[in-house]
Amino acid sequence: MAIEFQADFDGYLDSFAGHGVTATLFEVQQSLWDDRIGLIDSWYDIDSGNSTNINIILDQEFFNINGLSVGVEGYQPIAYLKYKDAPYISHDDRLEVNAITTRQGTTLIPRTTYKVKGVENDNYGIVKVILEEE
């Protein structure tokens, strides 16, 4: 089995020919001392407060939330992105996903803003980001 490289991920995340959509990542912290309990940024990992345009794959798959007698449908938005596009993504950062449209320009999903609730780096170049809609 061939090993995938960073350049291979560009095709997956491409917003025109691939599965990707465009988004803007906003880092929330602007100081070395992180005000979130239990977290201290290092000089290499400091959240700059900058915004970055990136391509992501947005997954909003429905699943069953078990209830006492009957289940309820729910969903957990998840974004997949390249590590090199956002190496310092962390909890409480904001991700603004641009409107998802057809090629003719019809809006399928309007622009949506999410808060980052979890970051799972696979150490191979893709990061899974668990989101919460704001």
3-state secondary structure of 6: helix
The residues with which 53 forms a beta bridge, in sequence order, are: 24
Q: What is d(CA 38, CA 49) in angstroms, rounded to the nearest whole number? A: 20
Average pLDDT over residues 21-37: 70
- Look at the alpha carbons of 32, 115, 13, 120 in this order and tell me if their dihedral is positive or negative: positive
> For the chain, which domains are there?
6-133 (2.40.10)
- pLDDT at residue 132, rounded to an integer: 93
Please state which of the ranges 25-34, 37-46, 118-127 shows the lowest mean pLDDT. 37-46
- pLDDT at residue 43, rounded to an integer: 46
Q: Name the pTM for this structure.
A: 0.76
Give the tokens for residue 92: 């409480």
How confident is the model over 45-100, as pLDDT tens digits?
A: 455 567 889 999 999 888 788 878 888 888 899 999 998 888 888 888 999 999 98
Q: Does position 35 have pLDDT exceeding 60, yes or no?
A: no
